[in-house]
């Protein structure tokens, strides 16, 4: 049996689990799910119930790619709200990918995206490309997005 119908769980490394609980739980507003026996990890419920796992390790990998993307109804409003809470959005100018942010937001093929980093350098994105598919309960035909 394949894994095509299983749930994917984005997993991010952090060096301070208490700070990760503050960042993901309080600042971003994700609900922490109790995980008995997991002292070095925290599991969060995001939006419609999607899971996000963060785990503590002595050092992080430092990837330069988007680690996790979150679909939102309105990218600009979400950027403004998170900025008020101290989140700094990345600015990109990547002509080879057709990607340029203006005030932290990129518009590509009719959808919008913005990127920010958690305190450990994990690149996170907010985007609106899949809003319609998620409303219909389907991700069929989902975009092939440009993610730095």
Residue 145: per-residue pLDDT: 44
Q: What is the CATH number of domain 61-136?
A: 3.10.180.10
Would you kindly state where each structural domain of the chain is located, as residue ranges? 8-59, 61-136
User: Which of left, alpha, beta for 66 (phi over 0: left; psi -120 to 50: alpha)?
Assistant: beta
Asked if the model's pLDDT at residue 86 lies above 70, the reply is: yes
Asked if the model's pLDDT at residue 84 lies above 90, the reply is: yes
Instruction: Find all residues with CB under 8 Å of 69, minimum gap 6, and list them.
Output: 113, 124, 125, 126, 127, 145, 147
What is the residue-averaged pLDDT of the chain? 87
More reliable by pLDDT, 38 or 141: 38
| Overall fold of domain 8-59 | 3.30.720
Each residue's pLDDT tens digit, 12-54: 999 999 999 999 999 999 999 988 777 899 999 998 789 999 9
Closest CA to 139 of 130, 129, 128: 130
């Amino acid at each position: 049996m394949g894994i095509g119908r299983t749930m994917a769980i984005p997993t991010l490394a952090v060096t301070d689990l208490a700070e990760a609980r503050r960042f993901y739980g309080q600042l971003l507003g994700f609900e922490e799910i109790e995980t008995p026996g997991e002292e070095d990890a925290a599991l969060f419920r995001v939006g419609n119930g999607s899971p996000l796992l963060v785990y503590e390790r002595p050092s992080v990998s430092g990837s330069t790619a988007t680690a996790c993307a979150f679909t939102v109804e309105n990218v600009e409003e979400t950027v403004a709200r998170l900025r008020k809470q101290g989140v700094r959005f990345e600015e990109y100018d990547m002509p080879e990918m057709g990607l340029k942010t203006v005030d932290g937001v990129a518009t590509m093929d009719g959808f919008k995206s913005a990127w920010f980093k958690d305190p450990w350098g994990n690149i996170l994105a907010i985007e609106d490309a899949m809003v319609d598919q998620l409303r219909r309960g389907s991700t069929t035909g989902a975009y092939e997005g440009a993610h730095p």
